[in-house]
């Protein structure tokens, strides 16, 4: 069917990984710099890190990013869907226009002062930034639904909850999941930033610690692990979309 999505095959991921490996190795040889070790050197450092504490730092980072994204999703999606109602949108829209353009990462010192340097401040920082990305996309999706979708249900006497259950939510889900994918890259970047200081746990800490010691193989090993974390979340969202939006893959 035209417009349907084709799920990537496993070999496409293998080809992409080999391409990245080849480009990385070529750059490492051409530049001949200690700051860019070969991928094989990084692989050995990665394996050595798995035997030490790389997994524990990964679990901590995964916990922080999962809580942040889940909290943002649970708050942003209901508000965005309710923006289909003009009475709600008239209140929410001005808040979005005033608050969304602010570079929210600058609020980190304030968040730390209010919530301390533990996991809570990092989770809240991720949630704040991802919240607006999901909210804006969900709001736009709910407000731009064609009225033709509503007429059949309205003619059968559907009201309120039935409209949301059978029209608004199904139409908005693909765009919400797209917003979630976009938020993955953002949340990984924010995760690195919030873990780069005032903490001794997490992949961001490992990256900055290895950089300060000029241990470049460990530096890249931690970067690879952070990339794999984002890749895993992205694949999980793909699986969720395939299950809840089956009509997209027909």
Query: Which CATH number characterizes residue 87's domain?
Result: 1.10.3720.10
Within 100-202, residue ranges assigned H as helices are 108-115, 119-143, 151-155, 161-163, 169-195
Q: Provide the phi-psi class of 172: left if phi over 0, else alpha when psi is between -120 and 50, else beta.
A: alpha
d(CA 175, CA 74): 15
Q: Taking 50 as the threshold, does the pLDDT of residue 2 lie above it?
A: no
> What is the reported pLDDT for 106?
86
pLDDT at position 36 is 93
**Considering the domain boundaries, does residue 1 fall inside one?**
no
> What's the CA gap between 61 and 66, in Å, rounded?
8
Does residue 12 belong to any structural domain of this protein? no
Supply 206's token pair: 């490992």
Whether residue 84 is contained in a domain is answered as: yes
Residues 6+ positions from 210 with CB-CB distance below 8 Å? 216, 218, 219, 221, 222
Q: Which of 139, 121, 107 is nearest to 67 (CA)?
A: 121
Stretch 148-168: mean pLDDT, rounded? 73
- Residue 218 burial (10 A CB sphere; 0-12, 13-18, 19+): buried
DSSP class of residue 33 equals -
Residue 44 included in any domain: no
Question: By mean pLDDT, which of 3-17, 26-40, 169-183, 221-235 is the weakest?
Answer: 3-17
The tally of CA atoms less than 13 A away on the side-chain side of residue 96 is 20
d(CA 196, CA 200): 9
pTM: 0.85
How many domains is the chain built from?
1
Say if residue 64's pLDDT is above 90: yes
Asked if residue 87 is part of any domain, the answer here is: yes
Q: Which two tokens stand for residue 150?
A: 């509503």
- Return all residues near 143 (Cβ < 8 A) that are at least 6 apart: 83, 84, 89
| pLDDT above 80 for 155 | no
Asked if the structure places residue 22 within a domain, the reply is no
The residues near 62 (Cβ < 8 Å, ≥ 6 apart) are 229
* More confident position, 108 or 47: 47
Per-residue confidence at 7, pLDDT binned at 50, 70, 90?
A: low
Domain of residue 148: give its range: 53-249
Residues 248 and 238: their CA atoms lie apart, in Å, by 12
Q: What is the mean pLDDT of residues 75-98?
A: 90
- Rounded Cα gap, residues 204 and 223, in angstroms: 8
Cα first-last separation, the chain: 7
| Token pair listed for 22 | 């080849």
What is the structure's pLDDT at 1? 42
Give the pLDDT band (50/70/90) at residue 154: low
3 state DSSP class of 52:
coil
User: For residue 27, is it within any domain?
Assistant: no
Position 20 in a domain: no
HSE on the CB side for 190, CA within 13 Å? 29
């Amino acid at each position: 069917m035209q417009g349907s999505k084709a799920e990537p095959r496993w070999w496409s991921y293998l080809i992409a990984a080999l391409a990245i490996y080849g480009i990385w190795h070529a750059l490492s040889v051409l530049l001949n710099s200690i700051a860019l070790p070969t991928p094989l050197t990084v692989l050995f450092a990665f394996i050595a890190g798995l035997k030490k504490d790389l997994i524990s730092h990964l679990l901590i980072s995964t916990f922080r990013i999962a809580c942040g994204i889940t909290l943002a999703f649970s708050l942003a999606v209901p508000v965005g869907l309710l923006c289909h109602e003009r009475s709600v949108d008239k209140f929410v829209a001005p808040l979005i226009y005033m608050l969304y353009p602010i570079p929210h990462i600058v609020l980190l010192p304030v968040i730390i002062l209010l919530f301390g340097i533990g996991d809570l401040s990092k989770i809240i920082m991720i949630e704040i930034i991802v919240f607006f990305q999901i909210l804006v996309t969900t709001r736009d999706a709910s407000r731009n639904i064609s009225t033709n979708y509503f007429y059949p249900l309205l003619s059968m006497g559907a009201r309120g909850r039935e409209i949301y259950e059978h029209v608004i939510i199904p139409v908005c889900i693909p765009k919400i999941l797209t917003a979630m994918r976009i938020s993955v890259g953002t949340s990984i970047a924010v995760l690195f930033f919030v873990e780069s200081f005032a903490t001794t746990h997490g992949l961001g800490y490992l990256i900055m610690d290895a950089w300060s010691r000029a241990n470049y193989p460990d530096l890249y090993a931690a970067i690879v692990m952070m990339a794999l974390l984002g890749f895993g979340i992205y694949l999980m969202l793909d699986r969720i979309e395939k299950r809840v939006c089956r009509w997209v893959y027909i």
